[in-house]
């Protein structure tokens, strides 16, 4: 089977990104300037990792004995 002039036969896998390539992805991040101007989120009250305070390590015990 011969391909017409200027065309190639289809390949089993795509060797490169479609037209536009990776530049199409940057449209999703077009608001990065607005994102940088937003105030930083407040940190949570409790830590995400690490040791918890109180009874978990035997810290606060009943003192009415």
**pLDDT one-digit tens code per residue, 13-50:** 766 666 655 555 555 556 666 666 777 777 777 666 66
Q: Which two tokens stand for residue 65?
A: 């004995």
pTM for this structure?
0.17
Strands (E), 1-65: none
**First vs last C-alpha separation in the chain:** 94
pLDDT, position 52: 61
Higher pLDDT, 28 or 9: 9
């Amino acid at each position: 089977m011969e391909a017409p002039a200027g065309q190639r036969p289809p390949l089993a896998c795509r060797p490169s990104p479609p037209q536009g390539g990776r530049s199409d992805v940057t449209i999703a991040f077009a608001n990065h300037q607005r994102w940088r101007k937003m105030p930083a989120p407040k940190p949570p009250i409790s830590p995400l990792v690490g040791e918890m305070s109180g009874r978990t390590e035997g810290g606060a015990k009943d003192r009415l004995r």
